[in-house]
Amino acid sequence: MNHNYILTIDQGTTSTRTIIFDNQAKMVAKSQKEFTQICPKDGYVEHNPEEIWQLTKETIKEAIDIAKIDVINIKALGITNQRETTVLWNKITGQPVYNAIVWQSRQSQEICDELIAKGLEGIIKDKTGLIINPYFSASKIKWIFDHVPKVKTEALKGNILFGTIDTYLLWKLTNGKVHATDYSNASRTLIYNIKELKWDEELLKYFDIPTNILPKVLPSSYLFGYATALEDINPLFSKIPIASLIGDQQAALFGQCCFDGGDAKSTYGTGCFILMNTKDKIIHSNKGLLTTIAWGLDNKVEYALEGSVLVAGSAIQWLRDNLNFFKITKDCEKFVQGPNPSQGIYFVPAFVGLGTPYWNNDARGTILGINRSTTKDHIIAATIEATPYQAKDVMDVMIEESGYDLRYLGVDGGASANNYMMQFQADLLNQKLIRPICQETTALGAAYLAGLATGVFKSKEQIKTLHQVECVFTSKITDEERMERINGWHNAIDATLQYKNNKLKEK
């Protein structure tokens, strides 16, 4: 048995993890540390890039200590990251010029509104597959240029670099030698042309972004450089290649082995992110899906369609923290009793509006169908069911617009541990759900890509043989029951949107 390992950094929105996998894709160690969420004003969310870098090093050290492995057997490092989050730093001093502006942050809304008012949505969507929204990096870069003194002059002198978190960590790990990103991360910036595979000069002009700050865009599975900055942890690190960079949702798609056209995965966390592999096809959506680059591998890029549910697991947290229905999240499943536990109650958790396919910022949550015998248990069941209903709405649009039939859905994320939720999802989709043993699919995707670049994994076919299934869910309801439930949900959505209209009329 040869003992080769891949070390993966999974730099997420609330925590940084280092996970070490062996060459059978088994997790051998994990270290995770949370970091500070900086919220200076309403709607602002920022991170300290230097704190992220320090914690990354700490988790690497800790994971190696836990794994008790010889560093010489680590054949590659992989990086997967929270996408879109933007860092600008001075390449001479290495100091960030401002905090990292996080994907969720709304501080660049005005910049986006101006571009929307100029009628640029069509052209930007055509070139990037995205909508004009503060979520993506470009308006965040402009915001830093507009608000932080001297950054513009320093940029003109060629001293400023831009990166998403993958790029920043790569630059730090290589002691400032390599300034690069991969196709998947570049495709989330709103300035990258996903058809022509280049930074788009016209878009850069709209955002007033100089080209000299931009990283080189490379395949997701590639020998980017060496982690010389980790020499103080172990001198051998200077010989270990950093061999993958990939955005977190795309990494999960790869980690779920969604390699064929129409293969899809759904990650059930705070929100729910659904991606479908569309191979070499750029499919533009008219119903609220995003088009994105899945990864660059084997001298080509592949594309994906993406849809998001804004409130998924966070509705369960709301039951726990605001309504005090239970103390421990996983206990919610204990309250779900009998064959139809929601008893006709529908909960549309539109706390912050509705995502794909409705994209309505003004909608707010509703609970419908309550009668004298409604109990807490019914509300809990309706809350759990709300996520599968929303994911089903996304999947319907994906299937319609992609032209693919769904063969199965790979599931992961914290809330996918809920068996009732997963069974309900299979019932609604009338399709097979596959929950893998390794729930760290994001880190695993980055490990696979790093392993492919270094020969630890031979091919996607070999990787498929390593993919281990923990549970398969298939529909247990009749077509009639399915239709009845889905009709009820759509009535609830109509009522929710109607409620917003009533509110507007009152004003």
| Contacts to ligand ADP by CB under 6 A | 14, 269-270, 313-314, 316-317, 329-330, 332-333, 413-415, 417-418
Contact 93, 467 (CB under 8 A): no
CB of 416 to ligand ADP, least distance (A): 8
Tokens representing residue 413 in the block: 């994320």
CB of 328 to ligand ADP, least distance (A): 9
Of 96 and 388, the one with the shorter C-beta distance to ligand ADP is: 388
Q: In which element (H, E) is residue 109 found?
A: helix 109-117
CB of 105 to ligand ADP, least distance (A): 16
Q: The dihedral of CA 181, 182, 188, 193: what is its sign?
A: positive
Burial per residue of 283-298, b for 16 or more beta-carbon CB atoms within 10 angstroms, e otherwise = bebebbbbbbbbbbbe
Of 3 and 334, the one with the shorter C-beta distance to ligand ADP is: 334
CB of 442 to ligand ADP, least distance (A): 9
Q: Which of 258, 244, 242, 245 is nearest to 302 (CA)?
A: 258
Cα 493 to Cα 231, 286, 340, 354: the distances in Å are 55, 20, 20, 10
Of 139 and 256, the one with the shorter C-beta distance to ligand ADP is: 256
Of 401 and 412, the one with the shorter C-beta distance to ligand ADP is: 412
Tally of CB atoms within 10 A around 233: 16
Cα-Cα-Cα-Cα torsion 226, 231, 235, 239, nearest 10 degrees, comes to 0
Tokens representing residue 119 in the block: 């009628």
CB of 58 to ligand ADP, least distance (A): 20
CB of 317 to ligand ADP, least distance (A): 4
Of 328 and 504, the one with the shorter C-beta distance to ligand ADP is: 328
* Radius of gyration of the CA atoms of the chain, in A: 23
Q: Which position's Cβ is nearest ligand ADP?
A: 414
Q: Which of 237, 413, 408, 399 is nearest to 316 (CA)?
A: 413
CB of 133 to ligand ADP, least distance (A): 19
Of 32 and 234, the one with the shorter C-beta distance to ligand ADP is: 32
CB of 470 to ligand ADP, least distance (A): 14
* C-alpha to C-alpha distance for 186 and 315, rounded to whole angstroms: 31
Of 104 and 418, the one with the shorter C-beta distance to ligand ADP is: 418
Of 229 and 384, the one with the shorter C-beta distance to ligand ADP is: 384
* C-alpha to C-alpha distance for 145 and 274, rounded to whole angstroms: 33
